[in-house]
Protein backbone atom coordinates (compact mmCIF):
# COMPACT_ATOMS: atom_id res chain seq x y z
CA UNK A 1 0.00 0.00 0.00
CA UNK A 2 1.47 3.31 -1.10
CA UNK A 3 0.40 6.48 0.75
CA UNK A 4 -2.27 8.49 -1.04
CA UNK A 5 -3.90 11.80 -0.18
CA UNK A 6 -6.73 9.85 1.45
CA UNK A 7 -4.24 7.81 3.49
CA UNK A 8 -2.44 10.94 4.59
CA UNK A 9 -5.71 12.45 5.76
CA UNK A 10 -6.75 9.32 7.66
CA UNK A 11 -3.40 9.12 9.40
CA UNK A 12 -3.94 12.67 10.63
CA UNK A 13 -6.94 11.52 12.68
CA UNK A 14 -5.25 10.85 16.01
CA UNK A 15 -7.18 8.74 18.49
CA UNK A 16 -8.29 10.25 21.78
CA UNK A 17 -5.97 7.94 23.73
CA UNK A 18 -2.92 9.04 21.76
CA UNK A 19 -3.82 12.72 22.01
CA UNK A 20 -4.26 12.32 25.76
CA UNK A 21 -0.87 10.57 25.98
CA UNK A 22 0.89 13.44 24.24
CA UNK A 23 -0.99 16.07 26.25
CA UNK A 24 0.19 14.32 29.41
CA UNK A 25 3.76 13.93 28.14
CA UNK A 26 4.09 17.56 27.12
CA UNK A 27 2.67 18.69 30.47
CA UNK A 28 5.33 16.78 32.42
CA UNK A 29 8.20 19.01 33.61
CA UNK A 30 10.66 16.12 33.24
CA UNK A 31 9.69 15.69 29.56
CA UNK A 32 10.06 19.43 28.94
CA UNK A 33 13.45 19.17 30.62
CA UNK A 34 14.33 16.38 28.22
CA UNK A 35 13.29 18.40 25.17
CA UNK A 36 15.38 21.34 26.39
CA UNK A 37 18.33 19.04 27.04
CA UNK A 38 18.21 17.73 23.47
CA UNK A 39 18.29 21.27 22.11
CA UNK A 40 21.21 22.19 24.36
CA UNK A 41 22.96 18.92 23.46
CA UNK A 42 22.98 19.90 19.79
CA UNK A 43 26.64 20.97 19.66
CA UNK A 44 27.85 17.83 21.37
CA UNK A 45 25.70 15.65 19.12
CA UNK A 46 27.20 17.24 15.99
CA UNK A 47 30.70 16.74 17.39
CA UNK A 48 29.93 13.04 17.91
CA UNK A 49 28.47 12.81 14.43
CA UNK A 50 31.74 14.10 12.99
CA UNK A 51 33.83 11.77 15.15
CA UNK A 52 31.76 8.75 14.11
CA UNK A 53 31.91 9.70 10.44
CA UNK A 54 35.71 9.82 10.51
CA UNK A 55 35.84 6.15 11.54
CA UNK A 56 35.47 4.35 8.19
CA UNK A 57 32.78 1.66 8.15
CA UNK A 58 32.79 0.08 4.68
CA UNK A 59 30.51 -2.88 3.92
CA UNK A 60 31.44 -5.96 5.97
CA UNK A 61 34.17 -3.99 7.78
CA UNK A 62 32.29 -2.08 10.46
CA UNK A 63 34.29 -3.47 13.41
CA UNK A 64 36.21 -0.30 14.35
CA UNK A 65 33.11 1.86 14.38
CA UNK A 66 31.17 -0.84 16.23
CA UNK A 67 33.83 -0.98 18.96
CA UNK A 68 33.78 2.81 19.24
CA UNK A 69 30.00 2.73 19.57
CA UNK A 70 30.28 0.03 22.22
CA UNK A 71 32.59 2.33 24.21
CA UNK A 72 30.10 5.19 23.88
CA UNK A 73 27.21 2.97 25.06
CA UNK A 74 29.24 1.92 28.09
CA UNK A 75 30.13 5.51 28.97
CA UNK A 76 26.44 6.42 28.79
CA UNK A 77 25.72 3.84 31.45
CA UNK A 78 23.73 1.40 29.32
CA UNK A 79 23.69 -2.12 30.73
CA UNK A 80 24.53 -5.45 29.06
CA UNK A 81 26.58 -3.68 26.35
CA UNK A 82 28.05 -6.11 23.83
CA UNK A 83 28.73 -6.89 20.18
CA UNK A 84 26.60 -9.77 18.94
CA UNK A 85 27.75 -12.52 16.59
CA UNK A 86 26.93 -10.46 13.49
CA UNK A 87 28.71 -7.35 14.76
CA UNK A 88 25.76 -5.26 15.96
CA UNK A 89 26.43 -3.00 18.96
CA UNK A 90 23.76 -3.48 21.62
CA UNK A 91 23.04 -1.78 24.93
CA UNK A 92 20.03 -1.93 27.24
CA UNK A 93 18.25 0.77 29.21
CA UNK A 94 16.17 -1.25 31.63
CA UNK A 95 12.55 -0.29 32.26
CA UNK A 96 10.49 -0.90 35.38
CA UNK A 97 8.32 -3.66 34.01
CA UNK A 98 9.30 -7.00 32.52
CA UNK A 99 7.89 -7.95 29.18
CA UNK A 100 7.85 -4.80 27.02
CA UNK A 101 10.80 -4.07 24.73
CA UNK A 102 11.37 -1.31 22.20
CA UNK A 103 14.39 -1.35 19.87
CA UNK A 104 15.80 2.02 18.79
CA UNK A 105 18.48 1.67 16.12
CA UNK A 106 20.70 3.35 13.54
CA UNK A 107 23.06 1.63 11.13
CA UNK A 108 26.84 1.61 11.48
CA UNK A 109 27.81 0.86 7.88
CA UNK A 110 28.28 3.10 4.86
CA UNK A 111 27.95 2.27 1.16
CA UNK A 112 31.57 3.21 0.49
CA UNK A 113 34.29 0.59 -0.21
CA UNK A 114 37.47 0.01 1.76
CA UNK A 115 39.94 2.84 1.45
CA UNK A 116 37.42 5.66 1.08
CA UNK A 117 38.38 9.06 2.50
CA UNK A 118 36.31 9.63 5.65
CA UNK A 119 37.79 13.03 6.49
CA UNK A 120 35.18 15.64 7.45
CA UNK A 121 35.26 19.25 6.27
CA UNK A 122 32.96 22.13 7.19
CA UNK A 123 32.31 24.97 4.77
CA UNK A 124 31.76 28.64 5.59
CA UNK A 125 27.99 28.10 5.79
CA UNK A 126 28.35 25.44 8.46
CA UNK A 127 27.46 22.57 6.11
CA UNK A 128 29.39 19.40 6.97
CA UNK A 129 30.91 17.36 4.13
CA UNK A 130 32.02 13.71 4.19
CA UNK A 131 30.90 10.32 2.87
CA UNK A 132 28.31 8.95 5.29
CA UNK A 133 27.93 12.17 7.29
CA UNK A 134 24.16 12.01 6.87
CA UNK A 135 23.57 8.33 6.10
CA UNK A 136 23.76 7.25 8.82
CA UNK A 137 26.15 9.08 11.14
CA UNK A 138 23.30 11.51 11.81
CA UNK A 139 21.16 8.63 13.03
CA UNK A 140 23.95 7.21 15.19
CA UNK A 141 24.57 10.58 16.85
CA UNK A 142 20.83 11.04 17.43
CA UNK A 143 20.73 7.62 19.10
CA UNK A 144 23.48 8.65 21.52
CA UNK A 145 21.81 11.98 22.26
CA UNK A 146 18.55 10.25 23.18
CA UNK A 147 20.30 7.81 25.51
CA UNK A 148 22.19 10.71 27.12
CA UNK A 149 18.94 12.66 27.56
CA UNK A 150 17.25 9.78 29.36
CA UNK A 151 20.27 9.37 31.63
CA UNK A 152 20.77 13.07 32.44
CA UNK A 153 17.09 13.80 33.09
CA UNK A 154 16.54 10.68 35.15
CA UNK A 155 13.51 9.65 33.10
CA UNK A 156 12.72 6.02 33.76
CA UNK A 157 10.57 4.23 31.23
CA UNK A 158 8.11 1.45 31.95
CA UNK A 159 9.30 -0.64 29.01
CA UNK A 160 12.88 -1.66 28.17
CA UNK A 161 14.75 0.23 25.47
CA UNK A 162 17.30 -1.73 23.48
CA UNK A 163 19.70 0.65 21.72
CA UNK A 164 21.31 -0.95 18.65
CA UNK A 165 23.89 0.08 16.09
CA UNK A 166 23.30 -2.35 13.23
CA UNK A 167 25.70 -3.62 10.59
CA UNK A 168 24.95 -4.46 6.98
CA UNK A 169 22.05 -2.12 6.24
CA UNK A 170 23.50 -0.91 2.96
CA UNK A 171 23.84 -2.67 -0.41
CA UNK A 172 25.10 -6.23 -0.31
CA UNK A 173 24.90 -6.14 3.46
CA UNK A 174 21.26 -7.08 2.79
CA UNK A 175 20.06 -6.02 6.26
CA UNK A 176 22.20 -8.77 7.78
CA UNK A 177 22.50 -6.99 11.12
CA UNK A 178 18.79 -6.52 11.77
CA UNK A 179 18.02 -9.98 10.34
CA UNK A 180 20.38 -11.45 12.93
CA UNK A 181 18.88 -9.30 15.67
CA UNK A 182 15.39 -10.66 15.07
CA UNK A 183 16.64 -14.21 14.74
CA UNK A 184 18.19 -14.04 18.21
CA UNK A 185 16.01 -11.57 20.14
CA UNK A 186 12.52 -13.00 20.15
CA UNK A 187 10.63 -10.52 22.33
CA UNK A 188 10.78 -7.19 20.46
CA UNK A 189 7.46 -5.34 20.70
CA UNK A 190 8.32 -2.24 18.65
CA UNK A 191 11.13 -0.89 16.49
CA UNK A 192 12.40 2.54 15.47
CA UNK A 193 15.17 3.03 12.91
CA UNK A 194 16.74 6.49 12.82
CA UNK A 195 17.78 6.83 9.19
CA UNK A 196 17.59 9.51 6.54
CA UNK A 197 17.36 13.25 7.11
CA UNK A 198 14.59 15.63 8.12
CA UNK A 199 12.12 15.55 11.00
CA UNK A 200 8.73 15.19 9.30
CA UNK A 201 8.84 12.09 7.09
CA UNK A 202 7.41 8.81 8.38
CA UNK A 203 8.26 5.49 6.71
CA UNK A 204 5.99 2.70 7.91
CA UNK A 205 5.89 0.37 4.88
CA UNK A 206 8.61 -2.07 3.86
CA UNK A 207 9.72 -2.13 0.23
CA UNK A 208 10.69 -5.63 -0.84
CA UNK A 209 13.65 -6.12 -3.15
CA UNK A 210 15.55 -9.01 -4.69
CA UNK A 211 18.99 -8.51 -6.20
CA UNK A 212 20.91 -10.87 -8.44
CA UNK A 213 24.35 -11.15 -9.96
CA UNK A 214 24.41 -12.95 -13.33
CA UNK A 215 27.75 -14.17 -14.66
CA UNK A 216 28.04 -15.23 -18.31
CA UNK A 217 31.10 -17.38 -19.08
CA UNK A 218 32.44 -18.58 -22.43
CA UNK A 219 35.68 -19.82 -24.03
CA UNK A 220 36.61 -16.41 -25.45
CA UNK A 221 38.80 -15.86 -28.45
CA UNK A 222 40.12 -13.45 -31.07
CA UNK A 223 37.49 -10.97 -32.23
CA UNK A 224 38.20 -11.84 -35.90
CA UNK A 225 39.65 -15.35 -35.92
CA UNK A 226 37.12 -16.86 -33.50
CA UNK A 227 34.11 -14.97 -34.81
CA UNK A 228 31.25 -17.35 -35.57
CA UNK A 229 32.86 -20.25 -33.74
CA UNK A 230 32.37 -19.24 -30.11
CA UNK A 231 29.47 -17.44 -28.44
CA UNK A 232 29.99 -14.00 -26.93
CA UNK A 233 29.11 -13.58 -23.22
CA UNK A 234 28.67 -9.84 -23.68
CA UNK A 235 26.27 -10.42 -26.57
CA UNK A 236 24.33 -12.83 -24.37
CA UNK A 237 24.20 -10.19 -21.66
CA UNK A 238 23.03 -7.64 -24.24
CA UNK A 239 20.25 -9.97 -25.35
CA UNK A 240 19.25 -10.35 -21.69
CA UNK A 241 19.19 -6.61 -21.09
CA UNK A 242 17.00 -6.09 -24.16
CA UNK A 243 14.51 -8.65 -22.89
CA UNK A 244 14.52 -7.24 -19.35
CA UNK A 245 13.91 -3.73 -20.69
CA UNK A 246 10.64 -4.95 -22.22
CA UNK A 247 9.21 -6.55 -19.07
CA UNK A 248 5.79 -5.09 -18.26
CA UNK A 249 5.02 -4.26 -14.62
CA UNK A 250 1.88 -2.81 -13.00
CA UNK A 251 1.55 0.74 -11.75
CA UNK A 252 -0.21 -0.61 -8.68
CA UNK A 253 1.30 -2.23 -6.73
CA UNK A 254 4.30 -0.16 -7.77
CA UNK A 255 6.96 -2.52 -9.08
CA UNK A 256 10.35 -1.67 -10.57
CA UNK A 257 13.34 -3.42 -12.08
CA UNK A 258 16.77 -2.32 -13.21
CA UNK A 259 19.97 -3.68 -14.67
CA UNK A 260 22.15 -1.69 -12.32
CA UNK A 261 25.77 -2.76 -12.86
CA UNK A 262 27.49 -4.34 -15.88
CA UNK A 263 31.07 -5.38 -16.48
CA UNK A 264 33.37 -7.76 -18.33
CA UNK A 265 35.53 -8.08 -21.40
CA UNK A 266 39.20 -8.75 -22.07
CA UNK A 267 40.28 -6.26 -24.73
CA UNK A 268 38.81 -4.41 -27.68
CA UNK A 269 40.01 -7.10 -30.10
CA UNK A 270 38.79 -10.11 -28.08
CA UNK A 271 35.61 -12.05 -27.64
CA UNK A 272 35.15 -11.89 -23.88
CA UNK A 273 35.46 -14.90 -21.63
CA UNK A 274 33.03 -13.47 -19.12
CA UNK A 275 30.53 -10.72 -18.45
CA UNK A 276 28.66 -9.79 -15.28
CA UNK A 277 25.51 -7.84 -14.60
CA UNK A 278 23.58 -7.06 -11.43
CA UNK A 279 19.85 -6.44 -11.23
CA UNK A 280 17.54 -4.91 -8.66
CA UNK A 281 13.80 -5.67 -8.55
CA UNK A 282 11.41 -4.04 -6.08
CA UNK A 283 7.75 -4.13 -5.11
CA UNK A 284 5.69 -3.48 -2.01
CA UNK A 285 3.71 -6.64 -2.90
CA UNK A 286 5.56 -9.94 -2.24
CA UNK A 287 3.58 -11.87 -4.84
CA UNK A 288 4.20 -9.30 -7.57
CA UNK A 289 7.88 -9.12 -6.64
CA UNK A 290 8.27 -12.88 -7.02
CA UNK A 291 6.39 -12.81 -10.34
CA UNK A 292 8.60 -10.08 -11.79
CA UNK A 293 11.78 -11.71 -10.52
CA UNK A 294 10.77 -15.01 -12.13
CA UNK A 295 10.19 -13.25 -15.45
CA UNK A 296 13.51 -11.42 -15.21
CA UNK A 297 15.47 -14.61 -14.49
CA UNK A 298 13.74 -16.37 -17.37
CA UNK A 299 14.71 -13.49 -19.68
CA UNK A 300 18.37 -14.05 -18.80
CA UNK A 301 18.16 -17.83 -19.28
CA UNK A 302 16.46 -17.40 -22.65
CA UNK A 303 19.10 -14.90 -23.75
CA UNK A 304 21.85 -17.44 -23.07
CA UNK A 305 19.99 -20.10 -25.03
CA UNK A 306 19.54 -17.73 -27.97
CA UNK A 307 23.21 -16.76 -28.02
CA UNK A 308 24.31 -20.39 -27.92
CA UNK A 309 21.85 -21.59 -30.57
CA UNK A 310 22.64 -18.66 -32.87
CA UNK A 311 25.95 -20.38 -33.65
CA UNK A 312 24.38 -23.86 -33.79
CA UNK A 313 26.68 -25.09 -31.04
CA UNK A 314 25.64 -28.53 -29.72
CA UNK A 315 23.78 -28.19 -26.46
CA UNK A 316 26.38 -30.26 -24.59
CA UNK A 317 29.45 -28.50 -26.03
CA UNK A 318 31.98 -27.05 -23.58
CA UNK A 319 32.05 -23.98 -25.81
CA UNK A 320 28.54 -23.00 -24.79
CA UNK A 321 28.04 -19.97 -22.58
CA UNK A 322 27.49 -21.01 -19.01
CA UNK A 323 25.27 -18.94 -16.74
CA UNK A 324 25.85 -18.54 -13.01
CA UNK A 325 23.12 -16.93 -10.91
CA UNK A 326 23.72 -15.62 -7.40
CA UNK A 327 21.11 -13.93 -5.24
CA UNK A 328 22.93 -11.05 -3.56
CA UNK A 329 19.99 -9.37 -1.86
CA UNK A 330 16.63 -10.39 -0.44
CA UNK A 331 14.80 -7.69 1.48
CA UNK A 332 11.19 -8.32 2.51
CA UNK A 333 8.19 -6.09 2.03
CA UNK A 334 5.50 -5.36 4.57
CA UNK A 335 2.31 -3.34 4.82
CA UNK A 336 0.01 -1.92 7.43
CA UNK A 337 -2.76 0.66 7.48
CA UNK A 338 -1.72 4.32 7.79
CA UNK A 339 -3.95 4.81 10.84
CA UNK A 340 -2.29 2.01 12.81
CA UNK A 341 -1.38 2.97 16.38
CA UNK A 342 2.38 3.32 15.87
CA UNK A 343 1.89 5.50 12.77
CA UNK A 344 -0.49 7.73 14.73
CA UNK A 345 2.11 8.03 17.49
CA UNK A 346 4.76 9.18 15.02
CA UNK A 347 2.23 11.59 13.49
CA UNK A 348 1.40 13.07 16.90
CA UNK A 349 5.10 13.33 17.82
CA UNK A 350 5.78 15.21 14.58
CA UNK A 351 3.01 17.67 15.34
CA UNK A 352 4.27 18.04 18.91
CA UNK A 353 7.59 19.46 17.67
CA UNK A 354 5.76 21.82 15.30
CA UNK A 355 6.28 19.74 12.16
CA UNK A 356 3.94 18.72 9.36
CA UNK A 357 3.81 14.90 9.19
CA UNK A 358 4.47 13.32 5.80
CA UNK A 359 3.85 9.65 5.06
CA UNK A 360 6.61 8.43 2.78
CA UNK A 361 6.64 5.82 0.03
CA UNK A 362 7.72 2.33 1.13
CA UNK A 363 11.38 2.18 2.08
CA UNK A 364 14.10 -0.46 2.14
CA UNK A 365 15.57 0.14 5.60
CA UNK A 366 16.26 -1.84 8.76
CA UNK A 367 12.56 -1.43 9.58
CA UNK A 368 11.66 -3.72 6.67
CA UNK A 369 12.47 -6.81 8.71
CA UNK A 370 10.22 -6.09 11.73
CA UNK A 371 7.45 -4.76 9.46
CA UNK A 372 7.53 -8.06 7.57
CA UNK A 373 7.40 -9.95 10.90
CA UNK A 374 4.35 -8.00 12.07
CA UNK A 375 6.22 -5.88 14.61
CA UNK A 376 5.18 -2.19 14.74
CA UNK A 377 8.13 -0.41 13.12
CA UNK A 378 9.01 3.06 11.86
CA UNK A 379 11.90 4.74 10.11
CA UNK A 380 12.28 8.34 11.26
CA UNK A 381 14.87 10.86 10.07
CA UNK A 382 17.93 11.99 11.99
CA UNK A 383 17.32 15.67 11.24
CA UNK A 384 19.05 18.33 9.19
CA UNK A 385 19.25 18.20 5.43
CA UNK A 386 21.36 15.61 3.65
CA UNK A 387 22.48 15.98 0.05
CA UNK A 388 24.54 13.80 -2.26
CA UNK A 389 23.58 10.71 -0.27
CA UNK A 390 25.63 7.62 -1.25
CA UNK A 391 28.16 9.76 -3.10
CA UNK A 392 31.62 11.04 -2.07
CA UNK A 393 30.06 14.54 -2.14
CA UNK A 394 27.60 13.72 0.66
CA UNK A 395 26.87 16.64 2.98
CA UNK A 396 24.75 17.47 6.01
CA UNK A 397 23.27 20.83 6.97
CA UNK A 398 22.73 20.58 10.75
CA UNK A 399 20.37 23.55 11.02
CA UNK A 400 17.67 22.74 13.60
CA UNK A 401 18.56 19.03 13.43
CA UNK A 402 17.66 18.67 17.10
CA UNK A 403 13.94 18.72 16.18
CA UNK A 404 14.31 15.20 14.76
CA UNK A 405 15.92 13.98 17.98
CA UNK A 406 13.08 15.51 19.98
CA UNK A 407 10.54 13.72 17.76
CA UNK A 408 12.14 10.32 18.27
CA UNK A 409 12.44 11.03 22.01
CA UNK A 410 8.70 11.75 22.28
CA UNK A 411 7.83 8.72 20.17
CA UNK A 412 9.89 6.51 22.49
CA UNK A 413 8.23 7.89 25.62
CA UNK A 414 4.75 7.46 24.15
CA UNK A 415 5.53 3.85 23.27
CA UNK A 416 7.25 2.86 26.53
CA UNK A 417 5.53 5.09 29.10
CA UNK A 418 7.17 6.88 32.04
CA UNK A 419 7.15 5.35 35.50
CA UNK A 420 4.54 7.05 37.67
CA UNK A 421 3.49 9.36 34.84
CA UNK A 422 2.11 7.60 31.75
CA UNK A 423 1.34 4.05 30.68
CA UNK A 424 2.92 2.50 27.56
CA UNK A 425 0.95 2.78 24.33
CA UNK A 426 2.95 0.00 22.70
CA UNK A 427 1.10 -3.32 23.02
CA UNK A 428 2.87 -6.54 23.92
CA UNK A 429 3.65 -8.50 20.76
CA UNK A 430 2.10 -11.99 20.71
CA UNK A 431 4.89 -13.33 18.47
CA UNK A 432 6.52 -12.73 15.13
CA UNK A 433 4.69 -13.66 11.94
CA UNK A 434 6.20 -16.17 9.54
CA UNK A 435 8.47 -14.10 7.25
CA UNK A 436 7.00 -13.47 3.80
CA UNK A 437 9.04 -13.87 0.65
CA UNK A 438 10.17 -10.57 -0.82
Per-residue pLDDT band for 433 (boundaries 50, 70, 90) equals confident
| Average pLDDT for 346-359 | 97
Fold of the domain spanning 5-206+333-416: Aminopeptidase (3.40.630)
Please give the model's pTM, rounded to 2 decimal places: 0.91
How many whole angstroms separate alpha carbon 383 and alpha carbon 396?
A: 9
At residue 173, what are phi and psi to the nearest 5 degrees? -65, -30
Q: Is the dihedral of CA 252, 7, 430, 92 positive or negative?
A: positive
pLDDT of 2: 41
| pLDDT of residue 232 exceeding 50 | yes
The helix (run of H) or strand (run of E) holding residue 410 is helix 402-416
| pLDDT of residue 431 exceeding 90 | no
How many whole angstroms separate alpha carbon 197 and alpha carbon 206?
A: 18
| pLDDT of residue 5 exceeding 50 | no
Helix (H, G, I), strand (E, B) or coil at 239: helix
Q: Where are the domains of the chain?
A: 5-206+333-416, 208-331
| pLDDT of residue 327 exceeding 90 | yes
| pLDDT of residue 180 exceeding 80 | yes
Say yes or no: domain 208-331 is CATH 3.30.230.10.
no
Amino acid sequence: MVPTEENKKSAGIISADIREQFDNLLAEPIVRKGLDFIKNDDKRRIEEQIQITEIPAPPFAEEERAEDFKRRFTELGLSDVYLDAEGNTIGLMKGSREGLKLVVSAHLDTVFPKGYDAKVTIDDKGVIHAPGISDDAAGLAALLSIARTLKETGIRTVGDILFVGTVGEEGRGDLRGVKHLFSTVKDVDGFISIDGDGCENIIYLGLGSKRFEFTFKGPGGHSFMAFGDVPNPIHAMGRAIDKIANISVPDEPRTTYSVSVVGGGTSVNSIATDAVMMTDTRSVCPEQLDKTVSELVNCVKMAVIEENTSLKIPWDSEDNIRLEIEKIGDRPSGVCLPDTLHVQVAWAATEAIGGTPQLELPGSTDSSIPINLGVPALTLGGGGKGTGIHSPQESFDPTDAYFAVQRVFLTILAFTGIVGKTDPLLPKNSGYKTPQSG
